Chain A
Amino acid sequence: MTETLILMKSELVITLIIFILLFIKIGAGMANKNLLLLIQWLLLGNLLASFLYNEEGWLFAGMYHTGNLIAVQKSILSGAVYLIALLFTSWFKTTKHLAEFFILLLSALLGMFFLLSAGNLLMFFLGLELATIPVAALANFDIDKKRSSEAAMKMILSSVFSSGILLFGISLVYGTTGTLQLNELYQMMDGSDLQKLSFIFLIAAFGFKLSIVPFHLWTADVYEGAPTATTSFLSVVSKGAFAFVLLAVLYKVFAPMQQVWYSMIVALSAITMLTGNLFAVRQQNIKRFLAFSSIAQVGFILVGISNGSAAGISAVVFFILVYVFSNLAAFAVADAIAVQTGREKIEDYKNLYQTNPFLSWAMALALFSLAGIPPAAGFFGKLFLISAGAAEGSYLFIAFAALNMVIALYYYLRVVRCIFMDKQEMPVEKIAVPATTTFGLWICIAGIVLAGVLSWMFDFIVSISIL
């Protein structure tokens, strides 16, 4: 009993928080301001608890397992959710259904935790569904906005479709191997045609979740229509979780077929990077812009994954950690401006520096990190991904990835240029940033500046990234 409690503690803590919120909602109710404060403290507690008592073990006849790497992945996601609770304060204060928002958000997080800990493909599917369906509701949270409903509709349709594909893939796996246990599956992978087909179905399903090109078409619309808090959850937490899961599936289940999937991942990576980058160049809306830039980032994650090496694991986990700080900071700045002025075009940022120096620097730093410019941690993240991909890999592919970094720099600099150099008649007025948002932004800034230069974080991740 105690063993179960300790091994499943991250899921249990999340469930507990969900219940607390539920009771508050049904019972007395609370003013938004106090409720948000409570949520922030609870999520901080959750983050801190995720560092404690992490043990390795299996439960429920191999249905559930956890270990050091999974615990760290969960901590990263918990941290990201805590940052979201801090960063979007001004939006949270205006929304009517704060408790519901976090209940749904945490349910999705719970689903991701189960997904990460799944030891069996059925459990895996269960977690995946729990991780996606609440998010569709979250996308609909600006209830009076039509775009928000549209986003939710697109989200749910593509999710259902990808779930169907995933289930079909799983059934093919079961058909060829006779088991759904992840740790038994890889011994039975012989690379038969049917298994290759099942792999294609699985990767297509993940493609939808991670918005890998050509499965990315829902991304930009959903990102733009959904409330920014949801968008950032989708683009950071959900993407992070699915990247971790993709690692586990490729490295554990399909490890014997590495030769088969290498070229597939390389092709997907190349086309994802290029498409994401080229579309990002033309975007006018900052959220759509970040949507396409995040597609390009996924292409980069695939570079690191492509080789199937332990270095790939550490590179991806570290990159997601950095990505949490950088992308959340960018979304937070965009949201702070959009909530108070309703302006979310890149052009609106012209001359932002004159009125809002702090927000400007936070945005610039986040964008530099996304572009991979030192001393921002994104530089190290991208470099390790590329290095992991380069080991015995094809240099043509690596040169292509490096070239994409240049294209990416072009459009990130476009925003920087608007903020610092271009002039306009009516710059965004001085934004009153809530204290919690400022605090969250400082955490992000510290993360961006220090996570790379101080190497111990990466060293720690390497020490637990074992094949």
Chain B
Amino acid sequence: MNLIVLLLIPFITALLVLLARTTQQVRLAALAGSAVQLVAAIILLFAFNHEKAAGNTAAIFFEQNHSWFPAWNISFHIGIDGIAMAMILLTAFVVIAGVLVSWKIEKMVKEFYAMLILLSLGAYGFFISLDLFSMFFFLELAVIPKYLLIGIWGSGKKEYAANKLALMLMCGSALVLVGMLGAYFGSDAKTFDITILAASPLAKDVQLLCFPFLFIGFGIFTALFPFHTWVPDGHSSAPTAGSMFLAGISMKLGGYGCLRAAAYLMPDAAQAYSPYIILLAAIAIIYGAFATMMQQDLKYINAYSSISHCGFVLLGIGMLTQAAITGAVMQMVSHGLMTALFFAVIGMIYERTHTRDVAAMGGLMKSMPFICTVLFLVGFCSLGLPGLSGFAAEMMVFTGSWQQPGIFHRIATVAACLSIVVTAVYILRAVGKVAMGPLKAGASALSDAGWHEKLAALVLLAGILAMGLAPEWLNTLVSPGSQIIMQKIQAVK
């Protein structure tokens, strides 16, 4: 399958959205485009597995290499491995759910959908890139849609949040840029191409210099402590679909970048800096969990818990065992689906009750059973109930982490495990207060989810269940990718 299709579909969708005349046409165009994209992603998965079953042992499938700026040795080099495949699937799921959830948006509909699609275009491009330059291009491409989505369609302190997010992410990009140029000029081949850079390792001092730039740069995107401060503001001010895309897709760009550009290309430095990564990740996990306990606003609850959950991704990467890295990728997928759904449900509740304050709600199960059931499910997923995706992913991270024998690693692992208890506390408290208890006055007339909301929730739930009930397929998909990364790192030992 030609991977360019993954870029062409959103591009055409965006064009159709811009050309559409009526609001209804805009919605239908966006929905059709994202549905086609989802189908394409699933076909790609089958094609990927088919290739593998046919005995193709290449590390990267569906590779294409076009020269882009020959003067700088920059090529448009694309291809996917299992990790990228998982990310593409995640993106396709979140995009269609985001489009469905935004069905009722009235303000500047055309621009709204165009921004959503553009953001997804950036994500797809990022995940299929095998060249640091085009990776950076797509990473930055997604900044402006985020800014406008929050600033125009957001709520609360939206301009402040949009500015903060754009500037902090731009800082991340600037760091990535420096690290990437360091890799370019530090390599013998003078190239941005990831496969070439990986084949001939960089000198150790270059790695030690560039790794922090790349890792912190991408880390900002994925809420690396202490650069996580954009997360609560950004998520809580964004419109529903914006939060879904931010948490579900955009934060994963960072995690993927940390893995692909930082850990994979600079194994020596990954070894050297691993304790610091683990330390920061463990702080993020615990700090995020406790900070969530204090929140009263549903969106803030989910935003802070995202910091905690994304900490597991970084913890998995920092542990440098194959199981942990596989777990990190699975956690990215799981967290992407789960927070997207969580934000979607919060959006649905907010649309009806016009509040996100937990204390102001109660007994909503009676008036909106569907929404509250989904809320319960996603809450359970967040606290790691077996059978749902969160358990599979976090379990994988913990097992992987435990394989590291050092006392420091053990302490970090145990601390991270304990955070699950805290998660259970805040999730059960929030969900219980919203859904159970006596119905607050005036809340009895609220309607349940409409068809588009139900569909959005079901799409994401399908993903969560598919991963939670049968994590094996995702594991086999991701493992070869993480194995290659591990081989690089073990070669250092």
Contact = CB atoms under 8 A, between A and B. Distances in A.
Interface of A: 311, 314, 368, 373-375, 379-380, 383-384, 386-387, 390-392, 395, 398-399, 402-403, 405-406, 409-410, 413, 416-417, 420-422, 455, 458-459, 462
A387 B151 contact: no
B177 interface: yes
Interface in B146-179: 147-148, 151-152, 158-159, 162-163, 166-167, 170-171, 174-175, 177-178
B178 A398 contact: yes
Contact of B69 (A368, A373, A459): A459
Given A402-B174, A405-B170, A420 B141 contact: no
A387 B72 contact: yes
User: How big is the B interface, by class?
Assistant: 20 to 34
B39 interface: no
B70 interface: yes
A417 B185 CA distance: 37
Contact of A406 (B133, B158, B162, B174): B174
A374 B141 contact: yes
Contacts of B140: 373-374, 379
Contact of B141 (A375, A391, A398): A375
A228 B177 CA distance: 35
A137 to B, nearest CB: 41
Nearest to B72: A387
A406 B69 contact: no
Interface string B170-194: 1100110110011011000000000
A191 B429 CA distance: 75
Contact of A395 (B69, B138, B167, B182): B182
A410 B163 contact: yes
B163 A417 contact: yes
Contacts of B177: 383, 386, 402
Nearest to A407: B167
Contacts of B170: 405-406, 409
Q: How would you classify the secondary structure of chain B's contact residues: helix, strand, loop or mixed? A: helix
Contacts of A379: 137, 140
B276 interface: no
Nearest to A405: B174
Contacts of B147: 413, 416
Interface in B195-237: 209, 213
A231 to B, nearest CB: 27
17 contacts: A368-B144, A373-B140, A374-B138, A383-B177, A395-B209, A399-B174, A403-B171, A406-B167, A409-B170, A410-B167, A416-B148, A417-B163, A420-B148, A421-B152, A455-B68, A459-B70, A462-B71
Contacts of A410: 163, 167
B178 A402 contact: yes
Contacts of B133: 383
A296 to B, nearest CB: 15
A246 to B, nearest CB: 22
A392 B185 contact: yes
Nearest to A454: B68
Residue among B138, B174, B175, B184 with max Cβ neighbours from chain A (10 Å): B174
B143 interface: yes
Contacts of A409: 166-167, 170
Interface in B111-158: 133, 137-138, 140-141, 143-144, 147-148, 151-152, 158
A458 B71 contact: yes
Contacts of A391: 185
A405 B158 CA distance: 23
Contacts of B148: 416, 420
Nearest to A396: B178
Contacts of B185: 390-392
B144 A387 contact: no
Contacts of A405: 170, 174
Nearest to A404: B174
A384 B72 CA distance: 9
A409 B174 CA distance: 11
Contacts of A455: 68-69
Contacts of A368: 144
Contact of A373 (B138, B144, B175): B144
Given A373-B144, A374-B137, A421-B159, A413 B166 contact: yes
B143 A386 contact: no
Contacts of B143: 373
A402 B175 contact: yes
A402 B180 CA distance: 12
B137 A417 contact: no
B469 to A, nearest CB: 40
A373 B140 CA distance: 6
Given A373-B143, A403-B174, A387 B181 contact: yes
A420 B69 CA distance: 34
Nearest to A365: B144
A432 B159 CA distance: 30
Contacts of A402: 174-175, 177-178
